[in-house]
Structure 1
């Protein structure tokens, strides 16, 4: 087998977490050990799982000169658990500037191979994109990171169920934590700062994690519980500059037991580097093991 970045020997926990082994006899099949340390309430973070799937698809598209996810859309078919996984990729098309393919992440369940995620992505080279920017988007207004609330495992009764937060340096603005005291703002928004606890700088794959690391916006609506993602579409717009990432997640419509959650990631240079929209279902009690 050959190892696909990140490697299990990498200094960064994120790179070790998304590491894949490519089978010599089946180049489109990769093996992974997912989720250890990237879960909250025993459920693996959806953005992390998307990064694993995107890393597998990267191995398929990069040989054509298209190493970066420009757009990737994933459907979450069943809850993934920490442990071995198999990823099967398929290259649908390769052109001059972009490649498109699909990937499925599967795990064993009671002796049967069960699909956890199915994703389709279009890849290119972010370094080759034009520099011109025309936008009406503006970054969220936030106090400095040191003036925000550090969101960590101390907010959970059982720190073993919040291992993800131990790998992040996540700082939320005051309104995003008001629900803890029983006074949610009702704005349907979470926002804050992010960097990795081990100092790893952001890149396109890490942006996929960043799009799904804030607490569910339903908490700000006064609705507790786990909010499972049904589908998530991410757009990566540029390679991020080193340093803090500025994040915002928001919903405008909770109806019929479903809500959309729009996310933006801004880098330290003030650029909008990633966006996403996900469809999630109504909050449920925390997952049991």
Structure 2
């Protein structure tokens, strides 16, 4: 079989990919789910916030009568670690076009006590039922072609702070936002990249929850280094993404008091704005 055909045949599909397996939950009781958080989605030793949001998003899709996240807001209370976790969901309201639920992810401390890691409130609906009318001034980010962008594998050594999650992503950064990796940060709070899953799985609403939190922190281009933990993250899913790589653009306009905001836009292969997010993150100064 030709090499191109072999590669195409090996592409993972939605529902049958590492991302789907690692976000799959086992229903223990109505509204209660068990999961073993994979170490494959860690940054240093902490589990990535976008991956965790996708786990909670999948639980709510099962608990609610609607399947697609429209808006989901998460407060990150304590750092999650790879290993067993419990997700507890609660249906707040169900309607004809929207349903609202909340969910918490919990793990256990050394004494066996439950520790809440994340709490979310979300509204779900049917993305396919939305009208086609679009009126916008938003424009896709200008990013060079993928073959002119760079990922962790293109550097002479692993990027400082990179980890297991980098091996599961197709992430190609815009060279104009890579000054931090060369010791020459631009001073602008901007990060832009092509994004996909390494196994070729196409994007869907759940993977958009990962995409908004998968790029290096904008703090790096401001000239800061180190972990930038998320305090709160809100994602709006605007439409079901088309197959193909996504473009993600993230900006920070204000760092004050040790906290910064990151505003993200995610665009699909048909130049549609498919997701937006804002998060508040803490930075370590000095």
User: SS of the residue aligned with 1:102?
Assistant: strand
Partner of 1:68: 68
Conserved? CA contact 2:258–2:285, under 8 Å:
no
Q: Using the TM superposition, give the Cα deviation of residue 40 of structure 1 relative to its aligned residue in structure 2, in angstroms.
A: 1.3
**Change in 2 beyond 3 A, CA 1:255/1:158:** closer
Partner of 2:55: 52
Partner of 1:32: 35
Say yes or no: does 1:280 pair with 2:285: no
Tell me how far apart the structure 1 counterparts of residues 160 and 253 of structure 2 sit (CA, whole Å).
Answer: 31
1:1-289 matches, cutoff 5 A: 11-23=16-28, 26-61=29-64, 64=65, 66-110=66-110, 111-152=112-153, 155-156=157-158, 162-283=163-284
Gaps of 5+ in 2: 1-14
Q: Using the TM superposition, give the Cα deviation of residue 35 of structure 1 relative to its aligned residue in structure 2, in angstroms.
A: 3.1
User: SS of the residue aligned with 2:89?
Assistant: strand
Structure 1 stretch 224-233 or stretch 31-40: which is displaced more?
A: 31-40
Q: Using the TM superposition, give the Cα deviation of residue 176 of structure 1 relative to its aligned residue in structure 2, in angstroms.
A: 1.6
Q: Using the TM superposition, give the Cα deviation of residue 104 of structure 1 relative to its aligned residue in structure 2, in angstroms.
A: 0.3
**Change in 2 beyond 3 A, CA 1:107/1:206:** same
Tell me how far apart the structure 2 counterparts of residues 140 and 109 of structure 1 sit (CA, whole Å).
Answer: 43
Tell me how far apart the structure 2 counterparts of residues 11 and 129 of structure 1 sit (CA, whole Å).
Answer: 27
Conserved? CA contact 2:180–2:223, under 8 Å:
yes
User: SS of the residue aligned with 2:55?
Assistant: helix
Partner of 2:12: none
RMSD, matched Cα: 1.6
User: SS of the residue aligned with 2:215?
Assistant: coil
Tell me how far apart the structure 2 counterparts of residues 114 and 267 of structure 1 sit (CA, whole Å).
Answer: 37
**Change in 2 beyond 3 A, CA 1:38/1:152:** farther
**Change in 2 beyond 3 A, CA 1:244/1:85:** same
Partner of 2:10: none
Per-residue deviation, residues 201-224 of structure 1 (Å, max 9, x unmatched): 000000000000000000000100
Q: Using the TM superposition, give the Cα deviation of residue 284 of structure 1 relative to its aligned residue in structure 2, in angstroms.
A: 7.4
Tell me how far apart the structure 2 counterparts of residues 216 and 148 of structure 1 sit (CA, whole Å).
Answer: 17
Conserved? CA contact 1:94–1:100, under 8 Å:
yes
Conserved? CA contact 2:36–2:84, under 8 Å:
yes
**Change in 2 beyond 3 A, CA 1:153/1:49:** farther
Per-residue deviation, residues 12-62 of structure 1 (Å, max 9, x unmatched): 110011000002xx211000011320011111111110000111111111x
Gaps of 5+ in 1: 1-9
Q: Using the TM superposition, give the Cα deviation of residue 179 of structure 1 relative to its aligned residue in structure 2, in angstroms.
A: 1.0
Structure 1 stretch 34-43 or stretch 139-148: which is displaced more?
A: 34-43
User: SS of the residue aligned with 1:180?
Assistant: helix
Conserved? CA contact 1:152–1:170, under 8 Å:
no
Conserved? CA contact 2:38–2:83, under 8 Å:
yes
Tell me how far apart the structure 1 counterparts of residues 245 and 154 of structure 2 sit (CA, whole Å).
Answer: 20
Conserved? CA contact 2:159–2:181, under 8 Å:
no
